[in-house]
Structure 1
């Protein structure tokens, strides 16, 4: 199978479920024949082989964030072709009876790949804009459902520790209540791998009606939550776990939150570092 850039593969996978029939044909052709598409075909040839129109390839490229198909072609191939053993593929490829070493390798490599792909895909302008909204917010409401709540709660702990006014209720009714009390300039920080959680969409709609800024950390940039958001910070964790709950999904989210927290501390305003020092001093009283 031909090697494709992990960045482009992640971008296509993130929007694949939203593509229409002809667009899927174009995406399938790019995924299966990246070298042919990048090096040997003009758009007319690619369209003919994929069984769709040239305009479909242009639409696909634009949905992926490129100016056109020519720019997409330039990004199709990886900088270097790394060998990926089948044993390192994510969890769905671990069969019954596998030894502990195979399990360890699969879990750790899935998480490492998700981090690498997320860093490669992350839009720095969106990150900086999100950072600006958070530092200027009167209140930060962070929210997540299921195990995404742990990532949302991490944001609450870190932001509170440096003096930002943050809340992170676990109960949906309380999330809605907090969102209904938001004001212009407040920030709703949502953590959702799928971007399709109904309750979080309701919280986002409530906050949006109050003119709050909405930042969503999600794997899917065309998801319902993403469409409601001012800023979408993308992750790129694609695993084959049948239960769909893997640590590889959450580690990039936690790293994004950590990066935002450190960026605030490293900023020009010294008050955040002073608040952290004061909080740490109090926390030491709870240690032996």
Structure 2
């Protein structure tokens, strides 16, 4: 698999998305780049090969897997990325220093949120028009729709279910893995199973996918890593680069912010495409919410 997302996507976004699934030698190259981008931009292809402990042709293949014509084009992209980050970081540091000179918890929090916000620009970098259209078509035309999500991806699944319900789209959801598999197996042709997995390697989610496909249903995956078991087995995959820089960081410092943002916007797009029916469903949901609110103190 090579990069199929936006041509404007940053090298770091491409590495985070594709890196864990690259061949071992190519993975050494991209990990070396991620470890010290400032140093790598000064390297020739041979310099990088020597530093990573691989052959020069492996460096070229790694660059091509990331979607570049060759290593020189990757170097240029790295320079551009570092220049942009430098300008952004300088601006952020100025704001933090003006707000809080001392290293308080609040200033640390501001810094971390800023880092997350800076990476949100990569949210759509790996998406393809076919994947987005396939997702929306499933919402519009599937006879039955089942959402599966486990572990730290669980809240994403529940949020999608609630939003779709408010948009008038009937959807099924089960927290228990065995209930997920049973429901998935009974979907049948003309139905869709949407699965969430940030890592792309959740065993209960993979089992539900297999059950859905055994019954003849379509499977749509939403994940952070292009080279993952879930993407390999899905009929349609929406890949959102992780907020963190590596698969390891994604597991230890898990963030689902980008995935949540994507699904929120997709549901809004679905409502817009549904026309009067979508607006009527949303109005009905707002009516229920209005009745549940009170101005009493």
Relative to the length of structure 2, the TM-score reads 0.77
Match of 2:59? 57
Asked if the contact 2:22/2:227 (under 8 Å) is kept, the reply is no
Alignment partners' CA distance in 1, 2:60 and 2:69: 8
| Residues 242 and 221 of structure 1, relative CA distance in 2, 3 Å threshold | closer
- Match in the other structure for 2:96: none
Matched, 1:175 2:180: yes
3-state SS, counterpart of residue 163 of structure 1: coil
In structure 1, the residue matched to 2:120 is 115
Q: Distance in 1 between matches of 2:147 and 2:72?
A: 40
Q: Which runs of 5+ in 2 are unaligned?
A: 1-7, 94-102
SS in 1 for 2:41: helix
CA contact (8 A) 1:6 1:78 kept: no
Shift of 1:45: 7.3
CA contact (8 A) 1:180 1:206 kept: yes
Do the aligned residues in 2 keep the contact of 1:139 with 1:164 (CA within 8 Å)? no
The alpha-carbon deviation at position 135 of structure 1 amounts to: 1.8
Computed over aligned residues only, the root mean square deviation of the Cα atoms, in angstroms, reads: 3.2
SS of match in other structure, 2:123: helix
Deviation at 1:241, TM superposition (A): 6.2
Does the aligned pair in 2 maintain the 1:34–1:77 contact within 8 Å? no
Which of 244, 248, 263 is 2:252 aligned to?
244
CA displacement 1:73-92 (0-9 Å, x = unmatched) = 5644326433237x98xxxx
Match of 2:293 in 1: 287
Q: Distance in 1 between matches of 2:69 and 2:138?
A: 28
In the alignment, the residues of structure 2 paired with residue 125 and residue 74 of structure 1 have an alpha-carbon distance, to the nearest angstrom, of: 29
For the residues of structure 2 that align with 1:108 and 1:158, how far apart are their CA atoms? 25
**Corresponding position of 1:157:** 162
Instruction: Choose 225-234 or 70-79, whichever is displaced more.
Output: 70-79
Find the partner of 2:136 among 113, 125, 131: 131
- TM superposition shift of 1:273: 1.5
| 8 Å Cα contact 1:218/1:233 also seen in 2 | yes
Q: In structure 2, the residue corresponding to 1:237 is in which secondary structure?
A: coil
Indicate if the aligned counterparts of 1:7 and 1:121 stay in contact, CA closer than 8 A: no
The question of whether the paired residues in 1 share the 8 Å contact of 2:185 and 2:213 is answered with: no
CA distance in 1, matches of 2:17, 2:127: 13
Match of residue 266 from structure 1:
272
Q: How many residue pairs are counted as aligned between the two chains?
A: 269
How has the CA–CA distance of structure 1 residues 68 and 274 changed in structure 2, closer, same or farther, with 3 Å as cutoff? farther
Deviations 1:53-96 (A, max 9, x none): 454234324433456656655644326433237x98xxxxxxxx
Conserved in 1, the CA contact under 8 Å of 2:40 and 2:48? no
Contact kept? 1:29, 1:50, Cα under 8 Å: yes
Partner of 1:95: none
Distance 1:222 1:283 in 2: 41
Shift of 1:259: 1.0
- Report the CA distance between 1:103 and its aligned residue: 3.2
Which residue in the other structure is 2:3 paired with?
A: none
TM-score by length of 1: 0.79
CA contact (8 A) 2:149 2:156 kept: yes
For 2:57 and 2:118, the matched residues in 1 are separated by 33
